[in-house]
Amino acid sequence: MSTRTVAVASSSGLHARPASIFTQAAADSGIDVLIAHGDEDPVDAASILLVMSLGVPSGAEVTLSADGPDADRVLDELVALLATDLDEEP
Amino acid sequence: MKLTGAGVGRGAVIGPVVRIAPAPAAPAHEPVPEDPTSAAADVVAAFDAVAAGLRAQAGSAEGAAVAVLGATAQMAEDRALRKQTLAKVAAGEGPVTALDSVVGGFVEMFTKAGGMLAERVTDLRSVRDRVAAHILGVPAPGVPHLSVPSVVVAQDLAPADTAALDLSLVLAIVTELGGTTSHTAIIAGQRGIPCLVRVAGALELAEGAVVAVDAAAGTLEVDPGPEVAEAFALRADVARRLAEDVSPGATADGMPVNLLANIGTAADAARVAGDACEGVGLFRTEVLFLDRTSAPTREEQAEVYAQVLRSFAGRKVVVRTLDAGADKPLAFATQLDEENPALGVRGYRLVRTAPELLETQLAALADAQRVTGVQPWVMAPMISTPGEARDFAAAARRHGLTTVGVMVEVPAAALRADAILAEVDFVSMGTNDLAQYVMATDRLRGELSDLINLWQPAVLDLVAATAAAGRRAGKPAGVCGESAADPVMAVVLTGLGVTSLSMSAGAVPLVRYAVAQHTLAQAEAVAQAALAADSAEAARAAAIAALVPGVAATLGL
């Protein structure tokens, strides 16, 4: 299993637009990715409802994990997304 | 037939009812599916159809609606929502019953979390309603196509529904649930659409029935007579003419009452500076700080403050220092572990945990004063003691700021207003927070809105005590909360000795009119009538009854 830990850069935390972009990317990756915050159990990173339920504030660290040959590539892409302030319009 | 509710805005219109279909309920004792596999397939098909429909709607929408509809579609596509619902169906639950129980779990979790998550509950419910309608084979709840200007009637309107409405054909919005600060009410307010919320019996109105909606009075009348249409037309005409009056605020016998605007940004300042207000009574600087990971620099703040001071070209501008915490958390200053944030480290109290925020802000204000040559008034929020007022005044004066005041919103400050005023040059009452703390009532709880009513006699008593202290000290005592925007309350406040009223710029014309119709003695009589009442409703009714004849009719009361 591959894992990555990253601080959420978006100024509103993992809510609204940032949560929407992140979960869509996790769903589009085609593999099962888990996301964990604090002591809570990891949840499906492709579920916007579960990800928002984590209530991750700006600057807090989350840990992503996945299995399989594509895991490292997918996790690197998702980490890059979380390290970007997604509240800013592109 | 006449229905009543809480009005948003002051408009009054007449038009035909268009009903928005209510959400389909799960059938009582929904049968266990005979074939769980085909029931599961139906549920997946329903989720897919709803998601596709929302995606299509998002594709043809514009502006903010695109993101709202896209995010709602994503909820309909959500893997966890589907998986949990299907697991319950496989275990033998009826599909809509299963859906309700899963959605209910998320709703509970989101509501408990509060803040931005709680705001998504309406979106989640709207997904639930659409999927349930699809499973049950009933018409989708939601917005019909409007062909003529109409009064939209619904149980409640989700943001996704409001986004789908053609607002140019919406005369008024009437809902059975909701609150005056709900998303729909706010959008309606911004667009100048009269809105009535919490109208019991609204769903029994017949499709196409002609109704008169009066947001100022909070009433809805079915089949109004021609005299109602005439009265509404007269009011619209009066409102147009009042908006042209730009004289300084004063009573009929010439006692000045400053009419000021509340602003949050330099763009607000530029927009309202041309309006008929005499300056700014509340510049909410926290807008600069919200949604950021670090505080704005001294240079960045000074630039914004200078823009605001220049917009008003020497007119009075009262700047409130950072009012963060409680319902306005900051990533870099708020204590995340506060059990009771409204009573925690917020407003001026941040000086205890992050003193550099206030120092930088005062330095930036002094910079803006230097480059513009305009002296701002500066005040601190959430002051509780004369000692805090003294410390803030000393800090502001150290930076060269000359006119220093504090907000009176903590009851302790109102009760000891003489001692507070001995330390500062002026006070400004924040009536929303004052009411929250006097009545021990959360501002955001709709079911407690009667307790937080600004007409509560206990709230009026503390305003009266503060204004009286201002008179004794010969120093200005203003009001910058919601109270000031209500023309009847404005007369009461004038009668209590309040020297300035700060409100959203759009409320100024009617307040100017109401104050100008009364001499100071007449306004004092209106205030006394309100103070003598023993409930919020009685206080407002007594004040309206004591207005100079003709004023209530012009105000549409």
Least-confidence region, from A74-78, B85-89, B163-167, B390-394? B163-167
CATH number of the domain that B173 lies in? 3.50.30.10
Instruction: Identify whether B403 is part of a domain.
Output: yes
Under DSSP, is residue B346 helix (H, G, I), strand (E, B) or coil?
A: coil
The segment with the largest mean pLDDT, out of B165-179, B200-214, B233-247, is B200-214
Tell me the ipTM for this assembly.
Answer: 0.89
* Window from B55-69, B268-282, B371-385, B480-494 with minimum mean pLDDT: B55-69
- Residue B172 C-beta-side C-alpha neighbours within 13 Å: 28
Nearest CA in chain A to B289: A11
With a cut of 90, say whether residue B366 has pLDDT above it: yes
A71, pLDDT greater than 60: yes
What pLDDT, on the 0 to 100 scale, is given for residue B286?
87
Question: What is the spatial distance between Cα B379 and Cα A81, in angstroms, rounded to a whole number?
Answer: 41
Q: B469 and B348 in one domain?
A: yes
* B114 lies in the same domain as B148: no
> Per-residue pLDDT averaged across B493-511, rounded?
92
β partners of residue B521:
none
List A43's β-bridge partners, or say none. Answer: A35
B203, part of any domain: yes
Residue of A nearest to B295 (CA): A11
CATH code of the domain covering residue B284? 3.20.20.60
CATH number of A2-82: 3.30.1340.10
Quick one: B302 and B431 in the same domain?
yes
Residue B457 has pLDDT above 90, yes or no: yes
Using the Cβ of B145 and the Cβ atoms of chain A, whether some distance falls under 8 Å is answered with no
Type of residue found at A17 = R
B471: left (phi over 0), alpha (psi -120 to 50) or beta: alpha
Fill in the DSSP letter of residue B6.
Answer: E
The strands making up A61-66's β-sheet, listed across from edge to edge, are A2-7, A61-66, A33-36, A43-44
The confidence score (pLDDT) of residue B213 equals 96
pLDDT confidence bin for B370, thresholds 50/70/90: very high
Q: Do B483 and B341 lie in a common domain?
A: yes
Q: Among residues B101, B136, B171, which one ends one of the domains? A: B136
Q: Write the DSSP symbol of residue B27.
A: P
Mean pLDDT of chain B: 89
**For position B160, what pLDDT does the model report?**
63
Confirm or reject contact between B79 and chain A (CB < 8 A): yes
Concatenated DSSP letters for B117-153?
HHHTHHHHHHHHHHHHHHHHT-PPPBPPPP-S-EEEE
Tokens representing B556? 């549409």
d(Cα A34, Cα B388) in Å, to the nearest integer? 49
- On whether both B339 and B394 belong to a single domain, the answer is yes
Find where tokens 């630039």 sit: B303
Residue B371 lies in a domain: yes
Decide if A20 and B70 are in contact by the 8 Å CB cutoff. Answer: yes
Last residue within a domain, chosen from B231, B264, B295: B231
| Count of CB atoms situated within 10 Å of the CB of B299 | 9
Residues B123 and B148 in one domain: no
Residue B528 dihedral angles phi and psi, to the nearest 5°: -65, -40
Domain that holds residue B331: 249-554
Is residue B280 included in any domain, yes or no?
A: yes
What pLDDT, on the 0 to 100 scale, is given for residue B324? 84
**Do B499 and B549 fall into the same domain?**
yes
Residues of A in contact with B124 (CB under 8 A): 49
Among B231, B257, B285, identify where a domain stops: B231
Q: pLDDT tens digits, residue range B264-293?
A: 888 888 878 876 789 999 999 988 887 677
Q: Considering chain B, what percentage of its residues have pLDDT values greater than 90?
A: 57
Q: What CATH number corresponds to the domain at position B120? A: 1.10.274.10
Rounded Cα distance, B82 and B314, in Å: 61
Which residues in chain B are closer than 8 Å to A43, comparing Cβ atoms?
A: 80
What's the pLDDT score for residue B224? 95
Which of A8-22, A47-61, B42-56, B388-402 is the most confident on average? B388-402
Residue B116 to residue A16, Cβ atoms within 8 A = yes
pLDDT of residue B208: 92
**B241 located within any domain:** no
User: pLDDT tens digit string along B504-551?
Assistant: 887 888 899 999 999 999 999 999 999 999 999 999 999 999 999 988
* Residue B314 backbone class (left: φ over 0; alpha: ψ -120 to 50; beta: rest): left
For B149, list phi and psi in degrees, rounded to 5.
-55, 130
B328 and B199 within one domain: no
pLDDT surpasses 90 at B59: no
Question: Is B30 a domain residue?
Answer: no
In a shared domain, residues B69 and B157: no
Same domain for B150 and B129: no
Q: Would you place residue B336 in the very low, low, confident or very high pLDDT band (cuts 50, 70, 90)? A: low
pLDDT, position B494: 98
Q: Are B393 and B541 found together in one domain?
A: yes
B518 catalytic? Reply is: no
Q: Which residue has the higher pLDDT, B338 or A37?
A: A37
Answer whether residue B420 is part of any domain: yes
Band (pLDDT 50/70/90 cuts) for residue B245 is: confident
Q: Are B448 and B441 in contact (CB under 8 A)?
A: yes
Q: What is the pLDDT of residue A90?
A: 46
Contact predicate B242/B510, CB 8 Å? yes
What are the contacts of B38-43 at 24+ separation with CB within 8 A?
A: B39/B89, B39/B95, B40/B86, B40/B89, B40/B90, B42/B95, B42/B135, B43/B82, B43/B85, B43/B86, B43/B89, B43/B95, B43/B98, B43/B99, B43/B131, B43/B135
Is the predicted pLDDT of residue B186 greater than 70, yes or no? Answer: no
Question: Mean pLDDT highest for which of B223-232, B286-295, B325-334?
Answer: B223-232
Split into its structural domains, chain B has a count of 3
Q: Would the pLDDT of B209 be above 70?
A: yes
- Bind-site residues of B for phosphoenolpyruvate: 284, 320, 432-433, 443
How many whole angstroms separate alpha carbon B47 and alpha carbon B54?
A: 11
B163 and B84 within one domain: no
